[in-house]
A = this chain, B = another copy of it.
Amino acid sequence: MTSVINVNLPELSYEIAISPSSLDQLGQQMASLKLGKKVLLVSNPTIFKHFGERAITSLRDATRTLSSANASLTSAGFEVASCTLPPGERYKTLNSIQKLYDIALENRLERSSTMVALGGGVIGDMTGFAAATWLRGINVIQVPTTLLAMVDSAIGGKTGVNHPHGKNLIGAFHQPRLVLIDPEVLKTLPMREFRAGMAEVIKYGVIWDAELFAQLEASKRLDQLRYVKPELIQAILVRSCQAKADVVSKDEKEGGLRAILNYGHTIGHAVESLTGYRLVNHGEAVAIGMVAAGQIAVELGMWQKEDTERQNALIQKAGLPTQLPTGVDIEAIIDALQLDKKVKAGKVRFVLPTEIGVVTVTDEVPSDIIRQVLRGM
């Protein structure tokens, strides 16, 4: 079960390689990319404990093709330094990036050097941003270890950190040279994080891939990894990554189509921000946002009620919330929408479904409809 998906971009194309046990192939997979000798592996303490040594061994043992005119030359493996950053969205700050800069300096990373992000979305976003901005850009490889990072954040080149007043307000587009996905690492993923990843998987079903949606509907359970067949996990990863790669290849820097990936994220980001990035995690917030967006689409006469219900049934089957957390003020959500990166000339942009697998983008949703839908949740 090895699948390779190509992300084709004007300046740089890269592969998403999905295969069980591929973590042990990391060094060999990187060897053909003609990278410099130095690698900085960035992780968090828990992930590093589980997988750090395997990744480092693979990197050190790789037979590397030299980035020389004479490509037949090979060299001993990579020279690896490693570091860990504290886990959690609240550490996704410029302070953590400054630590990475200091470590990059200590290890004298050069322009041909590579940072490897081994972890979830927070590690991937921060490592990507540090790589984007150290020496005006060095290589980055994404090795996502959460379902959410595998199907979403590790692909597409979005990197960044949070501003005290808003998520991901600081960042850059910086494409990885390779995304390596080993589904087996999901075995150590906490249940709640697995479910959070399923929110993005369901999203791809709604916005892009009706066949994926049908496969998810056919599975008896989606709420824990051990109840989902390995073949379905592989299919979920491949179809989700393919969906993301398709969209990103057509619109690298969010000029148009890429906006559809934000389905469920408009209200989702507001909910996440208002609950301090703790009470509700990103996937849960997206689940809530999809329920809201689906209902808005129904209210506007764009989507059928039965399809919203099918979507919401999947969300529930994945053990995800479909209601606003108690205590979140609806007017505060409406205000927070104004801070969204996707606001244009003060108008909030919504991605709304029209059928399973198809969405449209609009900035013409009246505030009253948003209010009414949120009150109903």
Contact = CB atoms under 8 A, between A and B. Distances in A.
B133 A172 contact: yes
A316 B110 CA distance: 35
A345 B110 contact: yes
A171 B136 contact: yes
A150 B99 CA distance: 34
Interface stretch (A116-124, A158-166, A318-326): A158-166
A101 B1 CA distance: 46
Interface stretch (A225-233, A289-297, A336-344): A336-344
A250 interface: no
Given A339-B108, A343-B110, A137 B170 contact: no
Given A135-B341, A136-B160, A101 B10 contact: no
B111 A344 contact: yes
Interface in A216-232: none
B345 A37 contact: yes
Given A94-B94, A105-B163, A163-B101, A170 B110 contact: no
A74 interface: no
Interface string A115-142: 0000000000000000011111100000
15 contacts: A36-B344, A37-B345, A94-B98, A110-B344, A111-B344, A133-B171, A134-B169, A134-B170, A135-B169, A135-B171, A136-B159, A136-B172, A136-B341, A137-B173, A137-B253
A112 interface: yes
A112 B132 CA distance: 22
Contacts of A111: 341, 344
A257 to B, nearest CB: 15
A163 B106 CA distance: 12
A168 B135 CA distance: 7
A10 B10 CA distance: 9
Query: Quick one: which of A108, A110, A168 has the most chain B CB within 10 A?
Result: A110
Interface residues of A, number: 38
Contacts of A108: 338-339, 343
A44 B159 CA distance: 30
Given A94-B94, A105-B166, A112-B344, A158 B136 contact: yes
Contacts of A136: 158-160, 168, 171-173, 253-254, 341
A101 B169 contact: yes
Contacts of A37: 345
A155 B322 CA distance: 51
A136 B128 CA distance: 12
Nearest to A95: B94
Interface in A231-271: 253-254
Nearest to A37: B345
Contacts of A11: 10
A111 B341 CA distance: 7
A259 to B, nearest CB: 11
B341 A105 contact: no
3 closest cross-chain pairs (CB), A and B: A136-B171, A135-B341, A133-B170
A78 to B, nearest CB: 13
Interface in A138-153: none
Nearest to A36: B345
A135 B158 CA distance: 10
